[in-house]
Chain A
Amino acid sequence: MMTSKERMEAAFQCKEVDRVPVFCEQGGINRRALGITYQEMVTNGELCALTDLAWHDLIGDDGVGVYFDTCVLAEAWGQPLIYLKEEPPFPDPAQYVLKSPDDYHKLEPFDLMEAPRFREQVKGTEMIAELAGDEILPRTLSIEPFVTLGEMRGMQQLLMDCVRHPDDVRAGLEAVTDMEIEFCRKLIDAGVRWIMLCHDYGNASLMSEKMWMDLEGDCLKRLHRAIREKGCYLLIHDCDPNPYVDASINAGDLDAFCLWSLPKGTSDWREFKAKYGHVCLNGVWEPTPLGTQRTYDQVVAESKQMIDDLGPTGFILGPGCEFPQNGSIINAAAMVDASKEAAGMKVEPRRLSSMRGLSR
């Protein structure tokens, strides 16, 4: 039997696996494994590491790592955040640090290790790598520069600036890209071996493919290359309708896509797989039904169908976006059980019967 690390590496390389790996994309629900608050999880790297390891022990999935939220870099740059006990922190809309298009030019590089939450993220990553580095492939999440810029300017204002002040936006994106690269490099040095990079703006619900590439294309190429040059796998995440998959591929150096919406011109996932089979696919569960609307048995059955259609090579089963933090933990485990059943592996009877008993 493969270790989780071997399984994930094989999946990224589209090679044979003992069973399809599962990544729950747990960004908030995992804290329930230790019963800690959101605020504790995103401010304490070791607690974050321990709760994700506990989640891994409980569920048996293959994506373990330290991920706080998308705002770590923006906060390090001086953006005030609002912290809530049971929700991820978010930028204070009354205090965006980029108040005018001119401010995009004022973004200066800084020492990331001076940022308390980034230091915590590094500490937690080192802890995971030390405790389980031989068994698992440590992960983290990073974001395209547009996201960080939007957190400091306000998304609505940034989108309008893309039309009215494109050169200023480009300057901001370049500055953020430099720091995103530093962010990723430091986490890779701490032990991260695969990065899920969110391309949140790269889809038809936000902007045209042309505008996205005109403004950020070169930045994405630099960021992708920097991650891959450090020997880290790169998984591109886009959870909105009509993701610009071809443009992401053209930005180069990626190993996988995490999606739950099909790109334009593709009618189903089997067609997607046939077209983009050289790239590993992670998904393709829609998170809300997976976490909150299906029973254990339904998740097992639908997951096995996905494995049948899209696996076993070059496929990582999971939601195409974050597993709902109020979702059913049993349904997360059901994906792992489905993966085992599909591969003819034994599913622990006690656990299975317990899961069935608790099924909604």
Chain B
Amino acid sequence: MSSTEIYGRLKDALLELDEATVLDLTRKALDGGAPPLEVIEAGLTPAITEVGARFERGDFFLPELLVSADIFTKAIDVVKPHLTREEGTARGLVVIGTVKGDIHEIGKNVVKLMLEVAGYEVIDLGIDVPLQAFVDKQRETGADIIAASALLSSTMPLLKDLVGLARRSGVSAAIIVGGAPVREKHAVEYGADGYSPDAVGAVRLVEELVSKVRADRTA
């Protein structure tokens, strides 16, 4: 089987949420001498991109998205040992968490998963996170993005406080916000750098902002 055939079948298998076949084909591609980076970029990435497109169209829902992301992550783990150090470098670093007083995590976890799938390193601070912890972790790691979530009307205003705290602290990262009651207008009002209503949009937003943050840092 040629690499092209393997990649086509790999895509089909991931869309069918067939974990065993995805992992088997990933190993077959590597054993057949395909470059590890090609296995990711030509095999796995188109498949997970199609998963995202199906999710946005409403053909896939959260359970399918979570399972496909889980399979994708396992396939990447198969490829990883074969990557050179340079090839294995993450596309950016994101610090993520749900703000203090809020224990909702599913939305935050899905964003985290989709970012990891897209090649970003994500540091998850968890739920009920004090605002200072976001700032401290960004400073400690030099993260490109702080992503904060709030699901309650009572915790939403903390997103504004976080933006204020980060700005006062001179944090050199973009701050993005989200959560069920949060809208674009709130992000603007809070002075955040971006907002997305869903995980797939959050990946696009991070892609855009990481480049901007890095350009600003070197300017």
Chain A contact residues, CB within 8 Å of chain B? 82, 87, 90, 93, 155-156, 159-160, 162-164, 204-208, 211, 240, 287-288, 291-292, 324-327
Contact = CB atoms under 8 A, between A and B. Distances in A.
Nearest to B156: A288
A204 B67 contact: no
Given A87-B101, A287-B153, A288-B156, A156 B106 contact: yes
Nearest to A210: B61
A41 B59 CA distance: 42
B106 A155 contact: yes
Contact of A163 (B17, B103, B153, B154): B17
A87 B99 CA distance: 14
Contact of B109 (A156, A204, A205, A327): A156
A166 B63 CA distance: 11
6 contacts: A87-B101, A156-B105, A163-B64, A164-B67, A206-B61, A287-B153
B153 A207 contact: no
Interface of B: 17, 58, 61-64, 66-67, 70, 101, 103, 105-106, 109, 127, 152-154, 156, 180-181
A323 B105 CA distance: 21
Contacts, number: 52
Nearest first, the 6 A-B pairs at minimum CB distance are A324-B153, A326-B154, A159-B63, A288-B153, A288-B181, A163-B67
Contacts of A159: 62-63, 66
B62 A291 contact: no
B188 to A, nearest CB: 14
Given A163-B17, A326-B153, A207 B61 contact: yes
Nearest to A325: B154
Contact of B67 (A90, A160, A291): A160
A357 to B, nearest CB: 24
A325 B105 CA distance: 20
Q: B63, B101, B109 — which one has the most chain A CB atoms within 10 A of its CB?
A: B63
Nearest to B19: A164
Nearest to B17: A163
Contacts of B66: 156, 159-160, 163
Contacts of B156: 288
Contact of B153 (A82, A160, A211, A291): A291
Contact of A211 (B63, B106, B154): B63
A206 B105 CA distance: 14
B126 to A, nearest CB: 9
A292 B152 CA distance: 11
Nearest to B65: A159
A309 to B, nearest CB: 23
Contacts of A211: 61, 63
Contacts of A292: 153
Contacts of B180: 240
A324 B154 contact: yes
A140 B17 CA distance: 40
A207 B62 contact: yes
Contacts of B106: 155-156
B63 A162 contact: yes
Nearest to B107: A205
A87 B105 CA distance: 16
Nearest to A203: B61
A156 B109 CA distance: 8
A287 B67 CA distance: 32
A204 B60 CA distance: 10
A155 B154 CA distance: 22
A344 B152 CA distance: 35
A204 B58 contact: yes
Given A93-B105, A211-B61, 10 more contacts: A87-B103, A156-B106, A156-B109, A164-B67, A204-B58, A208-B61, A240-B180, A287-B153, A288-B156, A324-B152
Given A163-B17, A164-B67, A206 B62 contact: yes
Contacts of B63: 159-160, 162-163, 207, 211
A156 B106 CA distance: 6
A204 B58 CA distance: 8
B183 to A, nearest CB: 9
Contacts of B17: 163
Contacts of A206: 61-62
Contacts of B70: 160
B154 to A, nearest CB: 4
Contacts of B62: 159, 205-207
